[in-house]
Each structure stands twice: as C-alpha cells, then as structure tokens.
Chain A
Amino acid sequence: MALLEIRDLTLRFGGLCAVNNLSLAIEENSIRSLIGPNGAGKTCVFNCLTGFYKPSDGDMIFQGESLLNKKPHLITYKGMARTFQNLRLFKQLSVIENVMSGMHCRTSAGFTAAVLRTKVQQAEERRIRDYAEECLDFVGILDKKNYMAKNLPYGDQRRVEWARALATQPKLLLLDEPAAGLNREEKSRLIELIARIRDERKITIFLIEHDMGLVMKISEKIFVIDYGTKIAEGTTTEVRDNPRVIEAYLGKEEEDAV
C-alpha cells in the first residue's frame, strides 16, 4: 500500500482551477518529485496535503487515513512535515529554538509542569533540546545553534528549515523548492542530504523543484503537472523524453516552425 495516495484532487479558487483531478501515489521509502512550469499548481498540492487549503474535490489518503478536513497541526502530528518555498523561519528566535518547535507535537508538558518544573518536565525539556541538536547536527549546522535565525546566511537558513521539519519526526517530508537560492556546492550537499534523510531516517521524500539537474539526479519517479493536471509520470528518462513535458516547458514545435 502506498504511504500517500492522492485521488482526483481538485482545488478551485472561484473560476480558476488550480489543481484538476490529480491522482498520484507515493510509496514508502521512495523519493518522488513534482515538477511543472511556473503556476502549474505544485505548491497548491502541498498546501492541500498539509491542510492549509481545503480541496474542492477528491481525497488524500495518508497511512490509510483521509486528510480531508484535518487541521495543519494534526496532519503534522500524523507524520507529514513540510518546508516552505519562501523561508518561514521564526526569525527573531535562535536556531535551536526554531528546531525545538518541531518537537512540540511529540511532547506534552503544560502550565503546571512548567511552573513547578517537575522532574518529568525537565526530562522532557532535555529530550527536546537533545533531539533538536541531533537534527541540527544531521543537517550540519550544530555549531550555529545559538545564532538568531535571521542572522544566518540564506543557505544556512534553509538548513534550519530542514532540521525543523525533521524534528517533527515525520514519515513523509514535503520539500517545496529546497534548492531555490542555493549555490552549486550547496545544491550538491542538498542532494546528499536528501538521500541520507531517506536512507538513514527512513523518511519518504516528496519534493517540488525547478532545478532539473537536481530532480533528475535524485528522484526515482517524477510527476509532471501543468495547469493543475498531471501530464506525465515516470522515471527520469521517461519524463525527459515525453513530448507533452517538452511542450509544457518549451512550447509546441509547430508554432515556431515556418
């Protein structure tokens, strides 16, 4: 059974159809990519999956459970984490505090425990901090844990976001354009990191990306959408040679021909 199954997902904003009858399945422990030209509706798919948008039609089944009408925090709790296309860090907080946010849904101390600072609460705080540090170490910026998030260079801010998503202990990780704004060296390290997340942490990866080199290198299977509709699906070579994909990205050949 697939870890995530999207069935006939449709999302309309008034007359505009952002996602149209999209169906796809993501198997456990796989790396899948969602590509498409600008405005194809890729981020809309992510926003539906994570509960930020309410789909107009269709269903999304995650680990055998429908995600319809579930609030974002509950979906994260169920094991789906995401990163944002434009960084959404808690800018005024330190790097470690940012990552500690991911542990919130895996812990439980409330008002009384906090005020009395019980043994259980202290142990939990330690566990939160330790796990956050482990996640920071995993993405390679543990040495910057006490910096204020907004003072980090862009590439490092991206890593904080990945660490933060990892701290929620997900089964499925949605990466929305993780390579945007990264330089070549950072990109090659990202490719390595994505592979490690899957291999070492057994987390399934579903990513949106514009950098074709990166997509071709890491995805085992690619879904292509245009105007909210799936136009192709398959391995990297299948997708690369698909005439409909080429058409979506480069336009029709006949139009240019004399």
Chain B
Amino acid sequence: MAETKLKTNVLNPFENIIERLFELFDNKKLRYPVLILTMVFLIYLPLTSSRFTQEIMTNMFFYVVVCLGLNIIVGFAGLLHLGYAAFFAVGAYVTGIMSATYGINFWVTLPFSIVAAIIAGLAIGAPTLRLRGDYLAIVTLGFGEIIRFTVRNIGITGGAVGLIGIERPVLFGVVLNQIMHFYYMFFILAIMAIFVSYRLHDSRLGRAWQYIREDEDAAAAMGINVVSTRLYAFIIGSAFGALAGSFFAAKMTAISPDSFMFVHSVMILLAVVLGGMGKIPGVVLGAIIVTLFPELSRDIGQYRLIIFAAVLLVLMLYRPQGIWPERQYISTKK
C-alpha cells in the first residue's frame, strides 16, 4: 500500500510543495532511477566541466562527508556538538605531520588519524556524556578552540603558518594531483559515508541512539547503557571527521590553523540542522546548500552572505525541523 501522509500544513503552501517533492523521493519505485541518474551525472560531470566547477563539487562532497559524520552525533544521538572542526583538524594534522615531516605514505597515516580521533573523542566524551543537557556543547566549543590554539602555538604543527608539503597520495601508481582525481576520491568518500550512515541508522546501534534521543530514562529502563551508547556515537562521528580531515590535508597539501575555525564547525552544524537532523538525504541536501549557495550567488557580490542569512532565517521560521526532516510519514504497509 502507498505511504500515507501524516500531517499537512494547509496554512503553508510553500511547505506543501516541498513535501510533495520529497514524497516523490521517498517513493521506493522512483528512488533508484533518480539515484542512478544522479550518479551517472556526477561521474560524467568532471569530464565536461571547468576546474572551478570541479573544485566546488569536490568541496561539496567533502562537506557531505563531514556533515554525515556530525549527523551521527547531532542527528542520530541528539548531542549538540559545537567543535566538530577540531576533529577534522585532528585528522588533517595527523596526516600532515606524518606526511610532511616524516615522509610517511598517505594511506598509512589514515589508521593513525582515526585512532587519534577516537582518543580525542574518548577524552572529550567520556567525562561529559555522563552529564545531562548542554554541557557537551560547552565542552566541545572549548575543545575546538583549544585544538586551534594548540596547533597555532606548538612547533610540530608548524605554528600559525601551518604545514606545507604534504605528499600527494598515490593510488594504483597514479599520483593524485589533479583536481579531477580529488573530485572522484571525495565522491567515493561521500558515497561510503552515505552507505555507512544508512547501515548504522537501520541497525541495533542506530535505533539505540534514537531511543536515547527520544527519552533518555525510558531508554535506560529498556536496558540501554546510555553513556556508552552515546560515547559510541561520539567516537564514530569523530572518526568520520578525522578521516575527511586526512583527505582534506592530502588535497590541499598545506594546512594551517585557519582551516579549522569555529565558523567551520558552525557551517557544518548549520548544514545538518538546515537539511533535517537525522535524515540522511536531508543532511546531504543541507551540505549541498551550504556549499553551493555562496558559490552560485557570487554574482550578487558582497550582499550574498546577507541574502544567505535571510534565506536561512526564513527556512528556520517556516521549517524549524529542517528542509527534509526525519519521520514525516508512517507506512501502513503489511
């Protein structure tokens, strides 16, 4: 049987149009053709487009990965995280230091980057995830700044100048030094991130995060270890970020503390909230909007950020749950 619509906001025609559109995507029959067409388009795109377009698209895929990583923490587990940039800084710097300073192969640095993120996640998460409410937001906010000031002030990270000369990764004998290479690499990463997100969402662990997000006490009464389950989300999300950070370092070949400002954490969080916390296509959409809008509206010139802000305000006023939120429909099949 078809999926039934739960609530309709008749007062808001704008909302109705959007919901119709998403209904099309939520329809299982249409989903796969649309997905395949999109994939074909995205694979074909760099062959015909300018370097500028490829650069923007690569950046967009990067955002998709980090937004999905943050979505595990904020969307799935319902933990407010304000210092996510620090975790991709951890990944980027681990790869950067190992590669630029010690000349270690890029691929070898990846597991170290993940381990570093897990350690950082444990250090931040273990003491704070026991507490209720917004302590985590404050601690992650602080952690983000601590990481940035630390890398600015110690020698091994190159101080304020940062690290230069990070080696290009080599894959099947090809040195990845063209923007097109990175386009495909981040494209694959984004697809992997989407895949892992879906698998996690529809698993015992993913459900446990949703239970805790919905009602912490009830989840505990159902035998779910609230602290360790949250910590799990926090660590997995951090590892996503660090991995993306490592690839970011390889693409840029140079990183500095300015690549990991608080504003980056905010932009990632913004993409997650804007798109619809917890809903994977929603978060992807959020990442696309946050990266593409400023680029597409370059013609407007210096006012584009103001317009962007206005658009965000309107969206949040009319759709506080995000553009494409989780759980609008219930299925009555079977």
Contacts and interface: CB of A to CB of B under 8 A. Distances in A.
User: Does B bind A?
Assistant: yes
A85 interface: no
B223 A148 contact: no
A146 B331 contact: yes
Contacts of A111: 200, 205, 232, 236
Contacts of A93: 210-211, 214, 327
A88 B215 contact: yes
Interface residues of B, number: 33
Contacts of A105: 222-224
Contacts of A12: none
Interface in A36-89: 50-52, 71-74, 76-77, 81-82, 84, 88-89
A72 B227 CA distance: 12
A183 to B, nearest CB: 25
Contacts of B221: 50, 52, 72-73, 76, 81-82, 84, 88
A151 interface: yes
B333 interface: yes
A100 interface: yes
Contacts of A73: 220-226
A195 B331 CA distance: 33
B219 interface: yes
Given A72-B220, A77-B223, A88-B218, A146 B204 contact: no
A97 interface: yes
Contacts of B215: 88-90
A91 B214 contact: yes
Nearest to A121: B203
Nearest to B220: A72
A196 interface: no
Interface residues on A, range: 35 or more
B5 to A, nearest CB: 12
Contacts of A71: 220, 225
B327 A92 contact: yes
B207 A146 contact: no
Contact of B205 (A51, A72, A114, A148): A114
A90 B214 contact: yes
Nearest to A79: B223
Contact of A114 (B203, B218, B222): B203
A92 B328 CA distance: 10
Given A109-B203, A115-B199, A102 B223 contact: yes
Nearest to B201: A114
Interface of B: 6, 196, 199-200, 203-208, 210-211, 214-215, 217-226, 232, 236, 326-327, 330-334
22 contacts: A73-B224, A77-B223, A84-B218, A88-B218, A88-B221, A90-B211, A90-B214, A90-B215, A90-B219, A97-B207, A101-B208, A102-B223, A104-B211, A104-B222, A105-B222, A110-B205, A110-B232, A114-B205, A115-B200, A146-B333, A148-B6, A148-B330
